[in-house]
């Protein structure tokens, strides 16, 4: 009887955890900008928290890291998905994003420059972000 109850408890917990999955964009995402072959000149990490908070840790060669914080909202009912970011410093960005591949470990994100309209598609300014593995 104990074994049956323990099995039921484990299955219940597994189903509860499995059903409460986060959207695929939640988590840490790394980006890099290359200045030439094997020469990373700028990079960073976007961290999308499940509560709508966002952080961006900017890394530049020869400079200390800087952190921007704010709030984000993703509309995943559209294709491509839309993202709106309101940074704590008062700046805002609008953009689009999509996943590359079925495993959703690569994400393309195109953000409009401050004050510009949302991009209509992906292009030369599209960032390729790689999901950080825990």
Helices and strands, counts by H and E, the chain: 1, 8
* CA atoms of 74 and 76, how far apart (whole Å): 6
- Going by pLDDT thresholds of 50, 70 and 90, the confidence category of residue 40 is low
- Going by pLDDT thresholds of 50, 70 and 90, the confidence category of residue 59 is confident
pLDDT at 125 over 90: no
pLDDT at 15: 47
Q: Which domains does the chain have, with CATH numbers?
A: 25-131 (2.40.128)
pLDDT at 33: 65
Instruction: Give the position of tokens 């996943």.
Output: 99
φ, ψ at 18 (rounded to 5°): -65, -30
User: Considering the entire predicted model, what is its pTM?
Assistant: 0.76
pLDDT at 65: 87
- Going by pLDDT thresholds of 50, 70 and 90, the confidence category of residue 74 is very high
* CA atoms of 13 and 107, how far apart (whole Å): 30
Omega before 80 cis (within 30°)? yes
Residues 77-120: pLDDT tens digits?
999 999 999 999 999 999 999 999 888 999 999 999 888 999 99
């Amino acid at each position: 009887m104990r074994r049956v109850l323990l099995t039921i408890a484990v299955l219940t917990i597994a189903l509860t955890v499995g059903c409460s999955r986060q959207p695929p964009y939640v988590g840490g995402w790394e980006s890099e900008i290359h200045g030439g072959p094997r020469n990373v000149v700028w990079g960073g990490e976007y961290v999308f928290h499940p509560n709508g908070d966002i952080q961006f840790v900017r890394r530049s060669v020869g400079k200390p890291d800087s952190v921007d914080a704010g709030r984000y909202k993703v509309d995943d009912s559209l294709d491509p998905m839309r993202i709106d970011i309101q940074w704590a410093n008062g700046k805002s960005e609008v953009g689009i994003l999509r996943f590359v591949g079925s495993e959703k470990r690569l994400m393309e994100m195109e953000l409009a420059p401050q004050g510009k309209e949302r991009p209509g598609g992906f292009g030369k300014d599209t960032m390729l972000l790689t999901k950080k593995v825990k």
